[in-house]
């Protein structure tokens, strides 16, 4: 697909719309080329850190829902990181043309400077704000306007699950801390009884 091309799947409610995200969520950018590099490096270190954390969790007694929640966030972050790292190196630009895989002249960008491909668009509800509505009175609105990808969905679902079940996760972490703190004392008492 070329940039901006779209296919209507369910009328005006579900559209495959090809766009490329230059920065963070919802197309926000952060400081040009150096900002893009910093954002990509942050994603890389975030993914490594959260993978290490999940690994440590799975080595002890853990809440499977908590690990599932974190795994969704990891999977989405890795998907966006792969796009950001390699997409610009293996494709040429897709403005006014279909991007070519492995072009002879090379890709449109260098390592960690690629754009993230977004394609899912759900403009479920369109209309105008009432004239009395503060700030946006009379202006057009679309719900849900952002164009996103499967990786963004995984991150969003993981974050929403973490928010919804946060109390459960914090209780299970406190229980694990209490159990771990009690283990050395129990061993010491057993040793004293054996003497």
Query: How many Å apart are CA 7 and CA 20, to the nearest integer?
Result: 16
Grouping H, G, I as helix, E, B as strand and the rest as coil, residue 7 is strand
Q: Is residue 16 packed enough to be buried (19+ CB in 10 Å), middle (13-18) or exposed (0-12)?
A: middle
Grouping H, G, I as helix, E, B as strand and the rest as coil, residue 143 is strand
Comparing CA positions, the residue from 42, 53, 47, 113 lying closest to residue 79 is 47
What residue has token string 């400077």?
Answer: 113
Backbone phi, then psi, for 30, in 5-degree steps? Answer: -135, 90
Nearby residues of 51 by Cβ (< 8 Å), 6 or more positions away: 74
Residues with a known catalytic role:
118, 152
């Amino acid at each position: 697909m070329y940039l901006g091309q779209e296919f209507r799947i369910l009328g005006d409610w579900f559209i495959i719309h090809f766009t490329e995200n230059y920065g963070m969520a919802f197309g926000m950018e952060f400081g040009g080329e150096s900002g893009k590099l910093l954002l990509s490096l942050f994603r890389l270190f975030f993914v490594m850190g959260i993978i290490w954390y999940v690994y440590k969790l799975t080595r002890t007694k853990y809440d499977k829902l908590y690990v599932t929640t974190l795994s969704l966030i990891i999977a989405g972050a890795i998907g966006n990181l792969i796009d950001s790292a390699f997409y610009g190196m293996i494709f040429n630009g897709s403005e006014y043309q279909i991007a070519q895989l492995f072009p002879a002249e090379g890709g449109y960008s260098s390592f960690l400077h690629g754009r993230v491909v977004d394609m899912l668009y759900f403009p479920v509800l369109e209309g105008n704000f009432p004239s009395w509505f503060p700030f946006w009175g009379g202006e057009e609105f679309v719900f849900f306007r952002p164009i996103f990808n499967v990786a963004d969905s995984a991150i969003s679902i993981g974050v929403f699950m973490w928010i919804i079940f946060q109390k459960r996760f914090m209780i299970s972490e406190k229980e694990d801390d209490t159990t771990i703190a009690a283990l050395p004392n129990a061993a010491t008492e057993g040793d004293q009884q054996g003497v």
